[in-house]
Structure 1
Amino acid sequence: MNIRYLRYFMTVADTLSFTRAAEQLHIAQPALSIAVKKLEQELDITLFHRQERKVSLTYEGQVLLEHAHQIMQQIESARLAIDELKGLEKGEVRLGVPGMMGSYFFPDILMAFKTRYPNIKLRMVEAGTQSIRKMLVNGDLDLGVVVNRNVPDTLATEHLLNSEMVAVVSQVHRFSKKSSISFKEFFSEDLVMFREGYFHRELADEICQKYQLESKIAVETNLLPMILKIVEGNHAVSPLLKLVAQCEHQVSYVPFEDPVKLEIVMAWRKNSYLSLADQTFKEFVKEKCV
């Protein structure tokens, strides 16, 4: 199978347009059409439904696209391995981190890593757990920090630390003097929450479903400083990691009567090559979490 033709196919599948794909690939559209047609002839299948101004994948095309992503990841892994054998390190770590971890746990670790390894580039993407898992599976990230829940079978994980979700409230809120609160008490309050796709939102939704509770979400935002400001002003409450609440002295936090324990792990694609830079960073973070 011609790898160049496979890459052309993936670009058309991504854009659903031979014209846009040709522009991205910097080749003439007729040459692209011929290449895709040759691939179809080689495989003896039709990859696209072609209409006058519309292109869509056939079922066979969808199946090939899934395998094509895996093939390209393996090719990239092979190139990295050969480069390192020749003494050429990748020199970049693509890391996905949830907002709370990125703001409170990782800055010191990242700076310490850069001090020790100044030539390795760190590219950190701050996103929700669902997005990080998806980007890892698709090969858009090398490593990701996620909660060890609903992790796809295609990802490997390694323990980093344990944490706990707590109720964060203003210092004048009636909950602030309590030693613990029930889920029923907490979810009776107005909430400020991350949007769907973030693990603290997933947990809240699961708790409500399990205990047949209804959440009263007053504000949705992915900005952690805004969440803390709203809580500080006693306008709403929010469930956040204890490691965040301990750093924010302008708010109070209360454990739940039924503790919400979480395991934070480092994740990466199984059967995928981790560059020397990735392996070095993974071991460095694990060392700092001991």
Structure 2
Amino acid sequence: MELRHLRYFVALAERLNFTAAAEQVHVTQPTLSHQIKQLENELDLALFERNERRVSLTAAGMLFLPRVIEALRVLDGGTALLKASTGSLTGHLRIATSQTFNIVIVPRTVLLFRQQHEGVRVTIEELTLADMTQSLRDGDMDLAIAYQPTEDRDMEFEPLCDEELVLVTRTDHVLARRKRVRMIELHGRDMVMLPQRFKTRQIIEEAFASAGTVPNVIIESGTIPSLLTLVRETHAPTILSRHALPPDSTLKAVPLESPRPTRTTGLIYSSGRPRTPIETAFGALLRKVAASHVGL
């Protein structure tokens, strides 16, 4: 089985017309017909039903088509990545990201990416998960970096790493000296938190509920810098990803347990369009930076 056989099969499956499909793949109609026959002989299955009036897929052809489309998409993405790694790209890359990843990992990746591809202009925006997926649908963003969407079936998610959510507190807080803090120990304690609209807060609330814990949330704030300032000024801890603390932070991160709240972060793409070489190259570099940062 050769690659051209698969491309010819997809073209005919999409057009269901030998003349139109042959024009699409730039071969003659007899050549296309011969190549399709070769593929069917190799599979020992009929992929198309042919008569004088129409061409249609057989049951085998309908089963085969989505697998071939996916295989070609992966192969084309790999080819684009190889081309991107050997030459300089140009264009505009629009990235939506969570606040956590935009502290160290995304800026570091963008700087490295720009060293390799000076002709690419990069735009970074911090958005909520809901806004990210909508921006991808609308074509306002090219890719997103966040935790996994649970209900967006038109999105493709590629995991990068698991993020541990930790207790962030001042070094003079009574819990700062602990190696680990159980969730139940936060019951009734003053805390500052992200608002309920954030998926991270929802993950934390699920962990609280599992432990039977109800903290006293005194202030809610929607940005990480604001939360960290509030932790320093109010003496009330918060819960954030371990990656939310800058390298020079004076605050302490203490692991949580029983349960240990985590979230899976990854790349999110719209499944409605193919990826560009710029997106593919950036995604590959981001994986390297993220793996190095979290010690994977």
Is the TM-score greater than 0.5? yes
Indicate whether 1:141 and 2:141 are aligned: yes
User: Over the residues paired in the alignment, what is the CA RMSD in angstroms?
Assistant: 2.1
Residues 207 and 261, structure 2, Cα contact 8 Å, conserved in 1: no
Aligned to 1:276: 277
Q: Which runs of 5+ in 2 are unaligned?
A: 1-88, 292-296
In the TM superposition, residue 144 of structure 1 has moved relative to its aligned partner by 0.5
Within-5 A mapping of 1:76-155: 91-150=91-150, 152-155=152-155
Aligned to 1:263: 264
SS across alignment from 1:172: coil
Within-5 A mapping of 1:47-66: none
Residues 129 and 197, structure 1, Cα contact 8 Å, conserved in 2: no
SS across alignment from 1:272: coil
Aligned to 1:81: none
Residues 196 and 202, structure 2, Cα contact 8 Å, conserved in 1: yes
Aligned to 1:231: 231
Residues 173 and 235, structure 2, Cα contact 8 Å, conserved in 1: no
Aligned to 2:197: 197
Deviations 1:57-90 (A, max 9, x none): xxxxxxxxxxxxxxxxxxxxxxxxxxxxxxxx77
C-alpha change, 1:119 and 1:246, in structure 2 (3 Å) is closer
Rounded Cα–Cα distance in structure 1 between residues aligned with 2:186 and 2:137: 35
Aligned to 2:32: none
* TM-score for the superposition, normalised by structure 2: 0.62
C-alpha change, 1:134 and 1:206, in structure 2 (3 Å) is farther
C-alpha change, 1:214 and 1:189, in structure 2 (3 Å) is same
Residues 98 and 145, structure 2, Cα contact 8 Å, conserved in 1: yes
SS across alignment from 1:192: strand
Rounded Cα–Cα distance in structure 2 between residues aligned with 1:174 and 1:263: 30
In the TM superposition, residue 176 of structure 1 has moved relative to its aligned partner by 0.5
Aligned to 2:163: 163
C-alpha change, 1:156 and 1:199, in structure 2 (3 Å) is same
Residues 204 and 261, structure 2, Cα contact 8 Å, conserved in 1: no
In the TM superposition, residue 100 of structure 1 has moved relative to its aligned partner by 1.5
Residue type of the partner of 2:232?
Answer: E
SS across alignment from 2:256: coil
Rounded Cα–Cα distance in structure 1 between residues aligned with 2:249 and 2:103: 16
What is the identity percentage for the equivalent residue pairs of Structure 1 and Structure 2?
16
Aligned to 2:254: 254
In the TM superposition, residue 243 of structure 1 has moved relative to its aligned partner by 2.1
In the TM superposition, residue 268 of structure 1 has moved relative to its aligned partner by 0.2
Residues 146 and 266, structure 1, Cα contact 8 Å, conserved in 2: yes
In the TM superposition, residue 94 of structure 1 has moved relative to its aligned partner by 1.3
Residues 169 and 252, structure 1, Cα contact 8 Å, conserved in 2: yes
Rounded Cα–Cα distance in structure 1 between residues aligned with 2:95 and 2:126: 9
Greater Cα offset, 240-249 or 188-197:
240-249
Greater Cα offset, 121-130 or 89-98:
89-98
Rounded Cα–Cα distance in structure 2 between residues aligned with 1:208 and 1:255: 15
Residues 159 and 266, structure 1, Cα contact 8 Å, conserved in 2: yes
In the TM superposition, residue 128 of structure 1 has moved relative to its aligned partner by 1.9
In the TM superposition, residue 236 of structure 1 has moved relative to its aligned partner by 1.4
In the TM superposition, residue 212 of structure 1 has moved relative to its aligned partner by 4.0
In the TM superposition, residue 252 of structure 1 has moved relative to its aligned partner by 1.1
Higher Rg of the two aligned structures:
2
Q: Which runs of 5+ in 1 are unaligned?
A: 1-88
Rounded Cα–Cα distance in structure 2 between residues aligned with 1:112 and 1:93: 14
Indicate whether 1:186 and 2:192 are aligned: no
Aligned to 1:222: 222
C-alpha change, 1:151 and 1:105, in structure 2 (3 Å) is farther
Aligned length: 202
In the TM superposition, residue 247 of structure 1 has moved relative to its aligned partner by 2.4
Residue type of the partner of 2:198?
Answer: Y
In the TM superposition, residue 155 of structure 1 has moved relative to its aligned partner by 0.8
Rounded Cα–Cα distance in structure 2 between residues aligned with 1:129 and 1:197: 10
